[in-house]
Amino acid sequence: MIHFDWLWAAVLFPLPVIFWWGLPKVESAHRSALRVPYIDDFGCASVSSIRRGIAYVPLLLAILAWLLGVLALMRPQWLDDPVAFPTTGRDLMLAVDLSGSMETRDFEFRGDVVDRLTAAKSVGSDFIGRRTGDRLGLILFGQKAYIQTPLTYDRETVSVLLMESVIGLAGRETAIGDAIGLGIKRLMERSATSKVLILLTDGANTAGEVSPHRAAELAAKQELKIYTIGIGADEMVVSSLFGSRIVNPSAELDENMLKAIAERTGGRYFRAHNTRELEEIYSILDTLEPVEHEAQMFRPRHALFPWPLGMALCLAGVLVIWRVVGRYGV
pLDDT digits (tens, 9 = 90+) for 230-284: 999 988 777 766 667 787 888 889 999 999 999 999 999 999 999 999 999 999 9
318 and 244 together in one domain = no
The alpha carbons of the chain give a radius of gyration, in whole angstroms, of 35
Same domain, 133 and 56: no
Q: Residue 165's domain spans which residues?
A: 85-296
What is the reported pTM? 0.64
Secondary structure (DSSP) of 112-128? EEE-HHHHHHHHHHHHH
Mean pLDDT (whole number) for 66-72: 91
Q: How confident is the model at residue 169 (pLDDT cuts 50, 70, 90)?
A: confident
Residues 228 and 253 placed together within one structural domain of the fold = yes
Q: Do 136 and 92 fall into the same domain?
A: yes
Give the single-character DSSP code of 24. P
200 and 318 co-located in one domain: no
pLDDT confidence bin for 145, thresholds 50/70/90: very high
Residue 168 lies in a domain: yes
pLDDT (tens digit, 9 = 90+) per residue, 24-50?
765 554 455 555 555 455 455 555 566
Please indicate, yes or no, whether residues 174 and 309 belong to a single structural domain of this protein.
no
- Whether residue 265 sits in one domain with residue 281: yes
The CATH number of residue 288's host domain is 3.40.50.410
Q: Is the model's pLDDT at 219 over the cut of 90?
A: yes
How many domains does one find in the chain?
Answer: 2
Q: Residue 13 falls within a domain, yes or no?
A: yes
Q: With 0-12 CB in 10 A as exposed, 13-18 as middle and 19+ as buried, what is 183? A: buried
What is the residue type of 151?
A: L
For residues 313 and 257, membership in a common domain is answered with no
- Chain-wide mean pLDDT for the chain? 84
| 169 shares its domain with 290 | yes
Is there a domain that residue 151 lies in? yes
pLDDT tens digits for range 71-106:
999 999 988 777 665 566 688 999 999 999 999 998
